[in-house]
């Protein structure tokens, strides 16, 4: 009996690597500490009522952002471990199989489990406030979307301590991901972690399209909508068309592994190139899905801190929509070397060059917005200014990669790695940091320390260039991707060492950000936002108290102009009379919290875990639990309530220190 348990545990848990044992200890210690703190302060009930069952879009957004920071830490540790392994030749810091696992999980975590939740968090905390709504269109679905994402992320992350990490690359190309060459359960963790979280992502896309199209404030036509909300709409359009492709692709791969199908195996009549076409039909729109909201953030920040209207508003709107459409017509530029022929390569080279045009339009729009503006250099604006040269370099190298004959040299090299990180970190991460700093006071009612924030900004930027500029040269010198080590004779060691030092500097920058948040929480009274408008903003979210009350707006605003809040402030300064100062208050209809989303996501987690290990005894109750949750919600009619007028008055009086 003991031998059987020992044998099972040896196969079930990842063993034999001191780094994994350290991770095991860290996980256990963190969970025990978390449980102890909640028990000691008697906060379990508070956690359940206020956070685990919430359907408030602002709290859901905070949960997304917290999860994103957790995944940024995990993915960043993976990156630093890879750079440590490659810092000097012939190093044995990581074994090849461990390196392959880290290489795979780093890409998946940073794109799907860091960038996506960070993006969705900013969607949630901002869009309803910008368009003058009291919540998203489907609050229950919004909560379910988060918990499905979180369940998928946790299932994926379990793989590095249970069963073994996936190791076939972040896009899991066959035949590396097929059962013959990858018989472990790591690839199944990959499939089901992404599948479960992808369902949540698709539902979020639907939710925000409906929210934006149907719940805008009276008078807010589409061409009066804030630019960030336009970027969210463009991104969500791409989500609803691309994520079903990802779902179908991974389902086919799972059938290959689980049921002996041969969609992507050559010896069974399949074709691995079909997988690569399908995965990039999702994968390249995904790049624009995560970067479009960053473009919206830069538009808001540039206009606010330049004290000017955004230059070329209509051209920005059209550029975003064009990018959203063209992103589906460029996927084959990821494999110019596959032998498709000159005509196919020429078409996708041309579409890749064309998509750079609307992107260039936006760069000039931001520059002209800042031109002759009264620019102030608060932290959100620093990230915006830092983004522009970084993204321009990334865009220029992207155009180089779009030339099919030249791509035969660049393909699969560190030149490509440098380009990809140039646009993702310089565009997406810098953009989301700008948005987080910008809307932080609206979420929590206080500003973060600017001095610490600037230290973080400079460490991020200097570390970024030190890390990735050498990789362009390494790619041209012949260093390819996925190398676990290299020889002294290659002449790569100096540039690799510099690159690794840059990664370390970015790690230090992250620690500065953690310190900044901890410092802000500890000393929040020093930086309280008593105005609700600490940046002298332009859009409706700055017209309400900070932090925003549960109902957002005591009375729904009128939005008959672009930048309605900015125009209303100008009207008051010029003595122009507007609407009545004290709008009529009415009871506010609000959604009621629900525990069903977290329970349903837990059932999906159990079902996914069962699919990974082929345990029908876990799959069946997991899926039955999902069905039971859906049935329970179908017959739940107690889903809403009204906030009475007196409570609204008390809340507003406490927030604004005035009596309505």
- CB of 108 closer than 8 Å to CB of 194: yes
User: What's the burial of 658, exposed, middle or buried (CB within 10 Å: 0-12/13-18/19+)?
Assistant: exposed
- Give the predicted TM-score (pTM) of the model: 0.96
DSSP SS3 for 553: coil
pLDDT tens, 43-68?
A: 999 999 999 999 999 999 999 999 99
pLDDT of residue 265: 92
Please say if the pLDDT value at position 497 is more than 80: yes
* Bigger pLDDT: 580 vs 392: 392
Share of the chain above pLDDT 70, in %: 97
pLDDT of residue 22: 85
Q: What is the mean pLDDT of residues 75-100?
A: 94
Q: Is the CA virtual torsion 61, 66, 72, 78 positive or negative?
A: negative
Q: What is the mean pLDDT of residues 14-40?
A: 88
d(CA 128, CA 58): 9
Confidence class for position 512, pLDDT limits 50, 70, 90: very high
Both tokens of residue 42?
């008697």
**DSSP character at residue 657:** S
d(CA 204, CA 41): 34
Please say if the pLDDT value at position 389 is more than 80: yes
pLDDT tens, 106-136?
A: 999 999 999 999 999 999 999 999 999 999 9
Confidence class for position 5, pLDDT limits 50, 70, 90: confident
Q: What is the mean pLDDT of residues 239-257?
A: 97
Q: How far is CA 649 from the centre of its chain?
A: 37
Please say if the pLDDT value at position 580 is more than 80: no
**DSSP character at residue 480:** B
Both tokens of residue 22?
């350290």
pLDDT tens, 474-490?
A: 999 999 998 999 999 99
Confidence class for position 583, pLDDT limits 50, 70, 90: confident
SS3 of 119-152: HHHHHHHHHHHHCCCCCCCCHHHHHHHHHHHHHH
Confidence class for position 660, pLDDT limits 50, 70, 90: very low
Quickly list DSSP for 609-635.
HHHHHT-HHHHHHHHHHHHHHHHHHHT
């Amino acid at each position: 009996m003991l031998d059987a348990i020992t044998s099972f545990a040896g196969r079930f848990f990842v063993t034999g690597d001191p780094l994994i044992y350290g991770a095991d200890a860290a996980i256990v210690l963190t969970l025990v500490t978390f449980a102890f703190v909640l028990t000691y302060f008697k906060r379990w009930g508070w956690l359940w009522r206020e956070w685990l069952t919430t359907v408030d879009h602002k709290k859901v957004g905070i949960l997304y952002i917290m999860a994103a920071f957790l995944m940024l830490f995990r993915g960043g540790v993976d990156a630093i471990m890879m750079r440590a392994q490659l810092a000097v030749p012939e190093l044995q810091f990581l074994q090849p199989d461990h390196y392959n696992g880290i290489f795979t999980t780093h890409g998946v975590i940073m794109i799907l489990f860091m960038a996506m939740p960070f993006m969705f968090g900013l969607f949630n905390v901002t869009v309803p406030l910008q368009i003058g709504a009291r919540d998203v269109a489907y609050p229950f679905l919004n909560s379910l979307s988060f918990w499905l994402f979180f369940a998928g992320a946790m299932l994926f992350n379990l793989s590095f301590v249970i069963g073994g990490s996936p190791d076939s690359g972040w896009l899991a190309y066959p035949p590396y991901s097929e059962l013959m060459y990858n018989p472990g359960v790591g690839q199944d963790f990959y499939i089901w972690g992404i599948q479960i979280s992808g369902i949540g992502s698709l539902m979020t896309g639907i939710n925000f399209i409906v929210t934006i199209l149907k719940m805008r404030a009276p008078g807010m036509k589409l061409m009066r909508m804030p630019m960030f909300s336009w970027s969210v709409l463009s991104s969500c359009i791409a989500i609803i068309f691309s994520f079903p492709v990802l779902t179908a692709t991974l389902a086919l791969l799972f059938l290959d592994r689980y049921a002996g199908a041969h969609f992507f195996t050559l010896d069974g009549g399949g074709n691995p190139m079909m997988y690569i076409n399908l995965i990039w039909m999702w994968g390249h729109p995904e790049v624009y899905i995560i970067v479009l909201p960053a473009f919206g953030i830069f538009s808001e920040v540039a206009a606010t801190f330049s004290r000017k209207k955004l230059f070329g508003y209509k051209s920005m709107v059209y550029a975003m929509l064009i990018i959203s459409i063209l992103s589906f017509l460029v996927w084959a530029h990821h494999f110019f070397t596959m032998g498709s022929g000159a005509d196919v390569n020429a078409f996708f080279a041309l579409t890749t060059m064309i998509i750079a045009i609307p992107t260039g339009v936006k760069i000039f729009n931001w520059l002209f917005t800042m031109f002759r503006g009264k620019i102030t250099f608060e932290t959100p604006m620093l990230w915006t200014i830092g983004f522009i040269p970084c993204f321009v370099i990334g865009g220029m190298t992207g155009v180089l990669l779009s030339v099919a004959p030249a791509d035969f040299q660049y393909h699969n090299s560190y030149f490509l790695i440098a380009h990809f990180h140039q646009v993702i970190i310089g565009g997406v991460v810098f953009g989301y940091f700008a948005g987080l700093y910008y809307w932080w006071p609206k979420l929590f009612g206080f500003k973060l320390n600017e001095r610490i924030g600037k230290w973080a900004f400079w460490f991020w930027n200097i570390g970024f260039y030190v890390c990735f500029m050498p990789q362009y040269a390494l790619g041209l010198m012949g260093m390819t991707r996925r190398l676990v080590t290299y020889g002294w004779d290659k002449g790569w060691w100096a540039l690799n060492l510099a690159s690794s030092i840059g990664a370390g500097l970015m790690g230090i920058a992250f620690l500065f950000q953690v310190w900044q948040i901890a410092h802000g929480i500890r000393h929040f009274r020093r930086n309280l936002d008593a105005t609700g408008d600490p940046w002298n903003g332009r859009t409706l979210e700055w017209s309400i108290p900070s932090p925003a009350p549960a109902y957002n707006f005591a009375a729904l605003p009128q939005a008959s102009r672009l930048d309605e809040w900015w125009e209303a402030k100008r009207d008051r300064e010029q003595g122009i009379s507007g609407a009545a100062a004290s709008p009529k208050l009415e009871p506010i209809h609000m959604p009621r919290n629900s525990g069903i989303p977290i329970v349903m996501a837990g059932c999906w987690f159990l079902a996914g875990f069962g699919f990974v290990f082929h345990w029908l005894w876990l799959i069946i109750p997991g899926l039955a639990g999902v069905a039971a949750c859906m049935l329970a919600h179908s017959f739940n009619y107690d889903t809403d309530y009204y906030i009475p007028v007196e409570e609204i008055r008390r809340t507003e009086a406490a927030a604004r220190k005035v009596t309505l």
